[in-house]
């Protein structure tokens, strides 16, 4: 047989795409952390390179009923029931269409999905479209935790925007009562479904009929997250001797100005706002400049400290110890290739951003399991961690500017992560290099950075 023939036949039996499509169906009463789980799962999947999207039924309902009263959710309110059903159908239709484009791999259907009937409807719809339904139920009977969540929701949910917080909280509790009237937990009638039941934030987890690898990986992730309030602080190391001479990599000491930042860090942390009785853990890399930068913080506060090899700076291989100018001169092709696709570019004998993301996965899992943590690490590593929390696309994250001597505080909320930046007002060089330039490290003046000790908040 000629090879042409083989090729034709070969085309005929190419199997379809080998990734299964998954619809994660959230199940649970309001204020059980469903949106938080959904949002996090989406960010995690995006970060590891799996296209994912959340379809929030509430936001479809808001088109017709932007700020409904609790009575709207009364199961006896036929009009409310009809509109909520319409919202669910609209979300489902959009989700199926998104899968049809061929780009979608994981969709997350974020709603209460509190009855067996509703779940069967979803299961059948997914089944028809050859999509695996994975039900994720969050059950919680810890009243303190529910109250914390209610407070959180009433301050951040679009449903209560601009309303008196006390009135909002009361209305929200009534809404939950309405849902409780009809709520059915996933039980043995539904044992043919693939499901995960998280009881009291994962202290007991029941995992049923996992059918594919991707679902198992999602379950693994979900099992690592918690919904307790906390913050994560990120900081680069203080200015290093290498920073001063514009060289990358290495394991140099911090400069005098870097030492000043190390001394200022405890006060900067305090100013950023630490709730009372909060235990914070310090994480550094194993390189001198991060350990030195966290030295005074540890000595003054007595916080526990961990050194992680996985937090070490992106390995620049043969370029370690060179300046950007020297790299452009010695390895012009590499330099250009890196600008073209910085996320995937791997230094000769070193790492790419993609490699760093892979080695950071255990760190992300550990970070999800932890509560309050300050991470003192390096530019590239910090960009990757920041990209995970703030949902920065892969092509942008390697170009993000993260100045020296600045503390970033991230606080996860139900509807996104809140970011605040605190500048230490200690001058340092800027190590940021724009695309297509080989700019030398530039002197950074605190005044240019805007308000000293100022904060910027974005969602």
Binding-site residues for substrate: 236-243, 289
Nearer to other proteins, 239 or 312 (CB): 312
Site for other proteins in 256-315 (CB under 8 A): 306, 308-310
- According to the binding rule CB under 8 A, does residue 362 interact with other proteins? yes
**Phi and psi dihedrals of 52, rounded to 5?**
-140, 150
- According to the binding rule CB under 8 A, does residue 369 interact with other proteins? yes
Interface region with other proteins, contact rule CB under 8 A, candidates 79-87, 212-220, 399-407, 443-451: 212-220
Determine whether 378 is an active site residue: no
CB of 191 to other proteins, least distance (A): 8
For residue 22, give the H/E element and its range: strand 22-27
CB of 52 to other proteins, least distance (A): 16
DSSP E strand boundaries for 111-153: 132-139
- According to the binding rule CB under 8 A, does residue 330 interact with other proteins? no
- According to the binding rule CB under 8 A, does residue 332 interact with other proteins? no
With CB under 8 A as the rule, give the number of residues binding other proteins.
41
Catalytic-role residue among 132, 152, 226, 237: 237
Q: Which residues contact 251 (CB under 8 A, 6 or more apart)?
A: 287, 288, 289
Reference 260, options 268, 272, 270, 248; nearest CA is: 268
- According to the binding rule CB under 8 A, does residue 1 interact with other proteins? yes
Q: Decide: 382 and 356 in contact? Cβ < 8 Å.
A: no
Which of 64, 69, 209, 253 is the binder for other proteins (CB under 8 A)? 209
Q: Going residue by residue from 341 to 360, which x/- string records binding to other proteins, judged by CB under 8 A? A: -----x-xx--------xx-
Q: Decide: 271 and 421 in contact? Cβ < 8 Å.
A: no
- Burial classification of residue 436, based on how many CB atoms lie within 10 Å of its CB (0-12 exposed, 13-18 middle, 19 or more buried): exposed
d(Cα 204, Cα 197) in Å, to the nearest integer? 8
Helix, strand and coil in the chain, % to nearest 5: 45, 20, 35
d(Cα 25, Cα 303) in Å, to the nearest integer? 40
**Phi and psi dihedrals of 193, rounded to 5?**
-80, 155
- According to the binding rule CB under 8 A, does residue 216 interact with other proteins? yes
Determine whether 89 is an active site residue: no
Active site residues: 237, 313
**Binding residues for other proteins, per CB under 8 A?**
1, 3, 6-7, 9-10, 13-15, 18, 191, 202-210, 212-213, 216-217, 219-220, 223-224, 306, 308-310, 346, 348-349, 358-359, 362, 365-366, 369
């Amino acid at each position: 047989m000629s090879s042409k023939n083989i090729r034709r036949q070969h085309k005929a039996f190419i199997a379809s795409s080998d990734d299964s499509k998954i619809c994660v169906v959230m199940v649970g009463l309001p204020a059980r952390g469903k949106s938080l789980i959904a949002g996090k799962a989406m960010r995690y999947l995006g970060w590891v390179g799996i296209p994912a999207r959340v379809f929030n039924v509430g936001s479809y309902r808001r088109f017709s009923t932007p700020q409904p009263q609790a009575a709207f959710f009364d199961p006896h309110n036929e009009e409310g029931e009809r509109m909520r059903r319409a919202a669910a159908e609209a979300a489902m239709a959009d989700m199926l269409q998104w899968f049809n484009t061929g780009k979608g791999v994981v969709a997350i259907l974020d709603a209460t999905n509190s009855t067996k009937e509703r779940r069967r409807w979803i299961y059948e719809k997914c089944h028809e479209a050859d999509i695996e339904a994975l039900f994720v139920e969050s059950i919680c009977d810890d009243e303190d935790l529910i109250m914390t969540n209610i407070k959180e929701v009433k301050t951040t949910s679009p449903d209560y925007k601009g309303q008196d917080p006390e009135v909002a909280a009361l209305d929200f509790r009534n809404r939950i009562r309405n849902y409780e009237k009809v709520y059915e937990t996933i039980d043995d009638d539904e044992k043919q479904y693939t499901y995960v039941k998280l009881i009291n934030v994962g202290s007991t987890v029941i995992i049923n009929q996992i059918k594919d690898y991707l679902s198992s990986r999602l379950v693994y992730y979900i099992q690592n997250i918690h919904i307790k309030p906390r913050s994560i602080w990120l900081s680069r190391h203080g200015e290093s001797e290498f920073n001063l001479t514009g060289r990358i990599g290495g394991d140099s000491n911090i400069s005098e100005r870097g030492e000043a930042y190390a001394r200022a860090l405890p006060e900067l942390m305090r100013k950023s706002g630490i709730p009372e009785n909060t235990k914070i853990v310090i994480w550094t890399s194993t390189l001198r400049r991060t350990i030195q930068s966290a030295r005074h913080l540890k000595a003054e506060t007595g916080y526990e400290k961990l050194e992680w090899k996985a937090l070490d700076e992106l390995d620049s291989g043969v370029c370690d110890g060179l300046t950007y100018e020297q790299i452009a001169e010695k390895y012009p092709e590499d330099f250009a290739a890196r600008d073209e696709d910085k996320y995937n570019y791997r230094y000769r004998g070193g790492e790419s951003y993609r490699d760093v993301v892979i080695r950071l996965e255990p760190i992300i899992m550990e970070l999800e399991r932890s509560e309050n943590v300050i991470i003192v690490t390096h530019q590239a590593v910090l960009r990757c961690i920041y990209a995970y929390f703030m949902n920065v696309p892969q092509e942008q994250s390697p170009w993000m500017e993260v100045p020296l001597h600045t503390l970033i505080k991230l606080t996860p909320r139900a509807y996104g992560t809140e970011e605040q930046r605190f500048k230490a007002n200690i001058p340092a060089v800027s190590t940021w290099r724009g695309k297509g330039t080989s700019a030398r490290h530039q002197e950074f003046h605190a005044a240019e950075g805007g308000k000293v000790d100022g904060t910027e908040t974005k969602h």
